[in-house]
């Protein structure tokens, strides 16, 4: 399949905002940048469809954009997840995404008879990617961001969707809300965070005929690795096609241990149009966003966490993501682990677990973490919330949780 320089809305592909079908706009050619509101969904999709068919650069955002923000032809802007700060506007060529459209069409045997369900908000790059890929390849697309998980599941069943793009949080909520399994789904593509064992099992029950593929990447890099049924539990898999990876130590030397992940591929971004990150750096055609990882003997990548989230407790460096993954695997629920000031050790960790207050469960979590991770890497206290606050990307809102923790005794 030839790689094109611009997004397209293929003839025959239908686009739906819930039950409402949006008509394919007439073709055109425009170089004017279009800042587009990401909500309400139907209006956002109509505006996005017009930008695609008229070949205009664009950015979908759920907040006002600066009036002087610009974008050249053949380029578009998408937003980072903002898990630990304000979202940044990522500038990338449309070709950097259409290149992976071609890869996925071949790897997953995508055909015009397939239809895609998209659960998240269009301001999140995963959801935007799913819509653009489906329309470009000629697939019917059902955007269900405005619906509850129960209604999303009912709609997937009614239209017979065969593919779904979602984050682990969205899949967990869908599995909880669905009234019955979804046998029409043949492929589940999951990105935007670690998929815990409980959610993986729930997806298998919910989608009994679907192959589950978890991919690792970032708004700046797009696809980095892809995991499948043969990937060891906890690994994010091997490099996505045409991706080259390096792991470098703190002196920028190649390492066989834990190192910073550097990526070179046809899918990289061009730079930030809005905001910046000190962890994002370029060198020799490679880029890093500050993620740390390690390869095993079989070339499988294991993510340790973001460098900016690393916490030094006494003389030990700890990745909160590793603690979150362990708690989620043992408890089968969402959680977030954050640092708090400790006068003795400099910092300590606390965990916020989704669910009702349960002191016995809190003690069990702390005991299990101490046994498996050691006392310094274990949360000193566990808090509970009925639901964790989420970003539009579906990830826990760490800033909101940190602010909330300040109010807890």
First to last CA, the chain: 59
- Range with the largest mean pLDDT of 90-94, 305-309, 397-401: 90-94
Q: What DSSP element (H or E) covers 292?
A: strand 291-295
The 3-state DSSP class for residue 98 equals helix
The DSSP secondary-structure symbol of 64 reads: P
Tokens matching residue 397 = 């809102």
Is the confidence at residue 296, as pLDDT, over 90?
yes
Is the confidence at residue 82, as pLDDT, over 60?
no
Q: What DSSP element (H or E) covers 75?
A: strand 75-79
Do 218 and 333 share a domain, yes or no?
no
Band of pLDDT at residue 1, cut at 50, 70 and 90: low
Do 150 and 223 share a domain, yes or no?
yes
Give 193-252 pLDDT, tens digit per residue: 878 888 899 999 999 999 999 999 999 999 999 998 899 988 999 999 999 999 999 888
Rounded to 5 degrees, φ, ψ at 350 are -130, 155
300 in a structural domain: no
The 3-state DSSP class for residue 165 equals strand
Do 45 and 180 share a domain, yes or no?
yes
How many structural domains does the chain have?
A: 2
Q: What is the CATH number of the domain that holds 380?
A: 3.30.300.30
Do 268 and 342 share a domain, yes or no?
no
Q: How large a percentage of the chain has pLDDT more than 90?
A: 71
Strand bridging mode 346-354 / 379-385: parallel
Cβ contact 127:117 at 8 Å: no
291 in a structural domain: no
Is the confidence at residue 83, as pLDDT, over 60?
no
Q: Which of 221-230, 262-271, 318-327 has the lowest mean pLDDT?
A: 318-327
Q: In terms of C-beta density within 10 A (0-12 exposed, 13-18 middle, 19 or more buried), how is residue 343 classed?
A: exposed
Within 10 A of 231 (CB to CB), how many other CB atoms are there? 18
Do 334 and 229 share a domain, yes or no?
no
pTM over 0.85: no
Name 271's Cβ contacts closer than 8 Å, sequence gap at least 6. 91
Domain that holds residue 337: 310-405
254 in a structural domain: no
pLDDT score, position 85: 55
352 in a structural domain: yes
Long-range interactions of 144-148: CB distance < 8 A, separation 24+: 144/18, 144/117, 144/118, 144/119, 145/41, 145/118, 145/119, 145/120, 145/121, 146/17, 146/18, 146/40, 146/41, 147/18, 148/177
pLDDT score, position 335: 92
286 in a structural domain: no
Band of pLDDT at residue 109, cut at 50, 70 and 90: very high
Q: Burial letters for 2-26: b for 16+ Cβ neighbours within 10 Å, e otherwise?
A: eeeebbbbeeebbbbbbeeebebee
Do 160 and 216 share a domain, yes or no?
yes
- Residues 237 and 228: their CA atoms lie apart, in Å, by 7
Do 82 and 204 share a domain, yes or no?
yes
Give 384-409 pLDDT, tens digit per residue: 999 999 877 677 889 899 999 988 87
Do 66 and 192 share a domain, yes or no?
yes
């Amino acid at each position: 399949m030839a790689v094109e320089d611009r997004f397209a809305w293929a003839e025959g592909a239908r686009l739906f905002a819930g039950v409402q079908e949006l008509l394919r706009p007439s073709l055109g050619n425009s170089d004017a940048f279009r800042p587009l509101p990401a909500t309400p969904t139907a209006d956002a999709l109509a505006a996005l469809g017009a930008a695609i068919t008229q070949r205009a650069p664009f950015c979908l955002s759920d907040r006002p954009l600066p009036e002087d923000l610009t974008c050249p032809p053949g380029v578009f802007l998408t937003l980072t997840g903002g898990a630990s700060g304000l979202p940044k506007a990522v500038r990338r060529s449309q070709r950097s995404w259409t290149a992976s459209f071609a890869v996925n069409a071949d790897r997953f045997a995508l055909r015009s008879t397939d239809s895609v369900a998209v659960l998240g908000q269009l301001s999140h790059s995963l959801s935007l990617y799913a819509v653009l890929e489906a329309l470009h390849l000629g697939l019917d697309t059902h955007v269900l961001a405005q619906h509850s998980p129960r209604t999303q599941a009912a709609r997937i069943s009614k239209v017979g969707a065969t593919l779904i793009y979602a984050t682990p949080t969205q899949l967990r909520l869908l599995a909880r809300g669905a009234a019955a399994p979804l046998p029409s789904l043949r492929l589940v593509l999951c990105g935007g965070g670690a998929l815990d064992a409980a959610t993986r099992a729930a997806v298998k029950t919910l989608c009994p005929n679907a192959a589950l593929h978890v991919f690792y990447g970032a708004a700046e890099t797009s696809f980095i690795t892809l995991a499948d049924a043969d990937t060891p539990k906890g690994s994010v898999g091997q490099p996505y096609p045409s991706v080259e990876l390096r792991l470098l130590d703190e002196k920028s030397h190649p390492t066989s241990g834990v190192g910073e992940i550097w990526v070179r591929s046809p899918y990289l971004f061009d730079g930030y149009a809005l905001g910046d990150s000190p962890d994002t750096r370029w060198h020799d055609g490679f880029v890093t966003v500050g993620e740390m990882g390690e390869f095993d003997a079989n070339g499988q990548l294991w993510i340790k966490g973001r460098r900016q989230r690393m916490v030094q407790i006494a003389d030990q460096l700890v990745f909160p993501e590793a603690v979150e993954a362990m708690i989620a695997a043992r408890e089968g629920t969402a959680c977030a682990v954050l640092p708090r000031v400790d006068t003795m050790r400099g910092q300590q960790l606390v965990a916020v677990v989704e669910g009702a207050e349960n002191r016995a469960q809190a003690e069990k979590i702390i005991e299990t973490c101490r046994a498996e991770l050691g006392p310094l890497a274990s949360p000193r206290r566990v808090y509970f919330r009925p639901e964790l606050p989420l970003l539009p990307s579906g990830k826990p809102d760490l800033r909101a949780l940190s602010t909330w923790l300040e109010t807890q005794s």
